[in-house]
Amino acid sequence: MTDSQYKLWSFHGGLHLPGHKKMSTGQPIGKYFIPERLILPLQQNIGEPSEPIVSEGEYVLKGQLIARANGYISAPLHAPTSGTVSEITEQLIPHPSGLAATCIIIKSDGLDKWVQLSPHASYENMDPSALRNRIRDAGIVGLGGAGFPSFIKLNPGSRTSIDELVINAAECEPYITCDDMLMREHADEIIQGTLIMQHALHARQCLIGVEDDKPEALKVMSDAVKRLGHGQIKILAIPTLYPTGGEKQIIKVLTGKEAPSQGLPLDTGTVCHNVGTAAAVYQAVIHGRPLVSRIITLTGQGIKTPGNHEVLIGTPVNEFIEHNGGYHNRIGKLIMGGPMMGISLASDLVPVIKTTNCLLGQTQQEATDNNTVMPCIRCGACMDACPVNLLPQQLYWYAFARDMDKIQDYNLFDCIECGCCCYVCPSNIPLVQYYRFAKTEIWAQEREKKKSDRARNRHEFRLERLEKQKKERGERLRKKKAALNKSKSTDKKDNDKQQAIAAALTRVREKQKQHSVISKNTDNLTADQKKKIEDADKRRQQNNNEKVPSEEDSDS
């Protein structure tokens, strides 16, 4: 049973909306069918699109990697069935722009033959980073509709552990029942996936929040926790109020914590994952199966046989609807997602992608109801309904005036686009469209700014480099000149020295010459004078012989 003693909190605003849920929960989840052709957009997640690693004509098996992640915030893509890659080309994708983007097209062979998988029966001994890698390699993204790569949110970052892992099973938007049916039929997988995520995050406690309009799901989930959860998981029935399924709203309801403006739940020690993501994590870790299919709610007054079905990713929407009963009368509007936050599809020739949780067919009457837009009467109803405590009429005013600075001062980026303000607006102003427009404008401006900043940085870097080169060249030139001057002065010094030596030698020679001239005063002597000199020399010689003792004399 659920924990009735557990204290719950509430958030500002919100709406009690008619659920319209019963129409799609009457029968079990239908099994997937294999369409002839699967269309796989490379962009199926928040972040960078994946990068194809297969070529046209290549045969692929179910679960085989066909496009790898391109960067950290990106997710790989796997073949949803076996067949041949027939094309890699531009195709319409489910996007508000209604534009085309690159897709891998697989022509199925009908055999649905799996690639060799590597199951891992026990996760308890696996390192958290190994678990994250396995979840990343399986291409799992948030299946609640956001599409953020799940492995990133399983990294506690600089924290060694987190306080709470919150599993979002609120499914608050009208008409959508895929999480409800998943819980009813696959509760054990969800609980085991939750335990794996708790292990990866070292989460101290784990809280699963289910809105109280899903009594069957609450019961089977509680039973599954008793069987598998070892008391580590709390199943909590929370009041049915739109948009409790918003990440920040469910965290507030279950923990009382509020993430800072433009901050992350992780900033408050909490991580939140969708219940469908938990089941996909179980499949990836325990059975080694990548994300190749998901449960989708097919519903609305415009659909003949509403229900929930497992669908291969890449299945064309028109074929899926046709296969499951088709449209009822003339369809007015086809929405991917719910009536509050979904996107209106311009065509049903687009494929189902990883984030497709619902296809809602509205009749022409539903689609055209209340669409006469009138001026804002400043009634303040939008402000009262806003679950984020924003001032929607101010945001509208600044978006209308294209004042992108002012609108950010009013925390535009905290807006979760829940649509509560539009729903209550008596003037039928499509407020969320204005907010989306403003966000897109600001992102475009930021991209432009980043581009021009990069260009300016490149230019400044080039100027700096040229200046540096100029300085270095000048310095080299200066050094060369100095070296040249130095060698010239050395040469001069050597020269001076040489000249001084030559002058000294000349002086010596001059002196010698003078001496030899002086000695000439013995020339032209008379015979008598010569005789006297000879006698004097003899005497001197004799004296010298007598005065100088021999070596023998000194020894004796």
Q: Smallest gap, in angstroms, from Cβ of residue 414 to ligand SF4?
A: 7
Query: Of residues 213, 427, 433, 442, which one binds ligand SF4 by CB under 6 A?
Result: 427
Distances (CA, A) of 215 to 107, 148, 222, 481, 554: 42, 29, 11, 92, 140
Q: Smallest gap, in angstroms, from Cβ of residue 439 to ligand SF4?
A: 11
Stretch that binds ligand SF4, among 191-199, 420-428, 499-507, 520-528 (CB under 6 A): 420-428
Exposure class string for 285-301: b at 16+ Cβ within 10 A, else e:
bbebbbbbbbbbbbbbb
Distances (CA, A) of 387 to 10, 17, 249, 337, 492: 10, 14, 8, 20, 91
Position 416 contacts ligand SF4 (CB under 6 A)? yes
Position 302 contacts ligand SF4 (CB under 6 A)? no
Q: Smallest gap, in angstroms, from Cβ of residue 447 to ligand SF4?
A: 23
Query: Of residues 426, 473, 504, 549, which one binds ligand SF4 by CB under 6 A?
Result: 426
Cβ closest to ligand SF4, residue 253 vs residue 298? 253
Distances (CA, A) of 297 to 148, 193, 210, 302: 21, 22, 18, 13
Position 378 contacts ligand SF4 (CB under 6 A)? yes
Position 376 contacts ligand SF4 (CB under 6 A)? yes
Query: Of residues 418, 434, 438, 439, which one binds ligand SF4 by CB under 6 A?
Result: 418
Amino acid at 305: T
Q: How many residues does the chain have?
A: 556
DSSP one-letter string for 87-152: EEEEEE-SSTT--EEEEEEEEE-S--PBPPP---S--TTS-HHHHHHHHHHTT-B-TTTT--BTTG
Q: Smallest gap, in angstroms, from Cβ of residue 279 to ligand SF4?
A: 28
Position 241 contacts ligand SF4 (CB under 6 A)? no
Query: Of residues 173, 420, 434, 438, which one binds ligand SF4 by CB under 6 A?
Result: 420
Cβ closest to ligand SF4, residue 17 vs residue 103? 17
Cβ closest to ligand SF4, residue 361 vs residue 392? 392
406: Cα separation from own chain's centroid:
28
Query: Of residues 241, 353, 421, 438, which one binds ligand SF4 by CB under 6 A?
Result: 421
Cβ closest to ligand SF4, residue 48 vs residue 384? 384
* Parallel, antiparallel or unpaired: strands 77-78 and 307-312: unpaired
C-alpha–C-alpha distance, residues 479 and 279, integer Å: 73
The footprint of ligand SF4 on this chain (CB under 6 A) covers a number of residues equal to 31
Query: Of residues 210, 295, 381, 407, which one binds ligand SF4 by CB under 6 A?
Result: 381
The tokens 């069918």 sit on which residue? 33
Stretch that binds ligand SF4, among 153-161, 171-179, 214-222, 382-390 (CB under 6 A): 382-390
C-alpha–C-alpha distance, residues 547 and 549, integer Å: 6
Query: Of residues 2, 270, 362, 393, which one binds ligand SF4 by CB under 6 A?
Result: 393
Q: What are the φ and ψ backbone dihedral angles of 227, each rounded to 5 degrees?
A: -75, -40
Query: Of residues 385, 399, 407, 438, which one binds ligand SF4 by CB under 6 A?
Result: 385
Position 341 contacts ligand SF4 (CB under 6 A)? no
C-alpha–C-alpha distance, residues 487 and 442, integer Å: 66
Binding mask 35-74 for ligand SF4 (x = CB under 6 A): ----------------------------------------
C-alpha–C-alpha distance, residues 346 and 408, integer Å: 30
Stretch that binds ligand SF4, among 131-139, 172-180, 429-437, 495-503 (CB under 6 A): 429-437
Token pair recorded at residue 362: 């509205």
C-alpha–C-alpha distance, residues 135 and 280, integer Å: 9
Token pair recorded at residue 129: 């980073």
Quickly count helices (H) and strands (E) in the chain: 14, 16
Cβ closest to ligand SF4, residue 11 vs residue 151? 11
Binding mask 471-490 for ligand SF4 (x = CB under 6 A): --------------------
Q: What are the φ and ψ backbone dihedral angles of 130, each rounded to 5 degrees?
A: -65, -40
Position 432 contacts ligand SF4 (CB under 6 A)? yes
Position 384 contacts ligand SF4 (CB under 6 A)? no
Q: Smallest gap, in angstroms, from Cβ of residue 2 to ligand SF4?
A: 28
Amino acid at 141: V
Query: Of residues 1, 117, 349, 377, which one binds ligand SF4 by CB under 6 A?
Result: 377
Do the beta carbons of residue 328 and residue 360 sit within 8 Å? no
Position 145 contacts ligand SF4 (CB under 6 A)? no
Position 1 contacts ligand SF4 (CB under 6 A)? no
Position 392 contacts ligand SF4 (CB under 6 A)? yes
Do the beta carbons of residue 12 and residue 386 sit within 8 Å? yes
User: Using CB under 6 A as the criterion, which residues of the chain lie in contact with ligand SF4 when the complex forms?
Assistant: 376-382, 385-388, 390, 392-393, 395-396, 415-421, 424-427, 429, 431-432, 435
